[in-house]
Amino acid sequence: MEPLDLRLQRPRGPRVRLAGVVFTARAIDKMRASLPGGDLNGYFENFGFSRVWQHLTGISLRELQTHVAEAASEDDVVAWIDGKLRDANVVRDAINDTMERATTAETPEAWRSVFEETYPPALRERFSSVFDLLEADDDRLYGTTTQA
């Protein structure tokens, strides 16, 4: 896949589903941005909510990164993820429900300082939903409204 420069465009929103799972499109965008020639623009490809995605899907972020780097297209990556989820009998609705209901209060203590450094106090105070916070922060960084 081609690298992605997140200085020029925002990653897809956390609610965008690929392979039937929220956050997957965003995880792929961040992996593409970490490829040579890409730019993460301050995003984390292997930390924070990406780690929650990893835990719930059972798909290693390192393995995803390798597959993104080697895949010819996003369709190839989505088919690979779909196969991994199907083989593991993962209940996608349960993953989506858990991720969509996640709150900022659930941020692990070990991640708290990075969380507070990454998101301005005004956003942290206004948004308790992780997805709402991520979308608002993207809006702040890119000066545009959240895409679907």
Structure confidence by residue, pLDDT tens digits, 58-97: 999 999 999 999 999 999 999 999 999 999 998 999 999 9
Please give the angle made by the CA atoms of 148, 137 and 98, to the nearest 5 degrees.
65
Q: What is the mean pLDDT of residues 113-126?
A: 94
| Residue 35 within a domain | yes
Name the band, by pLDDT with cuts 50, 70 and 90, for residue 148. Answer: very low
| Residue 147 within a domain | no
Q: What is the pLDDT of residue 71?
A: 98
| Residue 1 within a domain | no
Q: How far apart are the first and last CA of the chain?
A: 22
- Dist. CA 85–CA 26, nearest whole Å: 17
| Residue 41 within a domain | yes
Contact yes or no for 52/99 (Cβ under 8 A): yes
Q: What is the pLDDT of residues 1-49, one digit of tens each?
A: 999 999 999 999 999 999 999 999 999 999 999 999 999 999 998 888 9
| Residue 10 within a domain | no
Q: What is the pLDDT of residue 145?
A: 62
Using only the alpha carbons of the chain, give its radius of gyration.
Answer: 15
| Residue 3 within a domain | no
> Is 146's pLDDT higher than 90?
no
Number of domains in the chain: 1
Q: What is the pLDDT of residue 45?
A: 87
The range of the structural domain enclosing residue 82 comes to 17-142
| Residue 12 within a domain | no
Q: What is the DSSP string of 8-64?
A: TSPPPPTT-EETTEETHHHHHHHHHHTSTT-B-TT--SSSTHHHHHHHHH---HHHH
| Residue 55 within a domain | yes
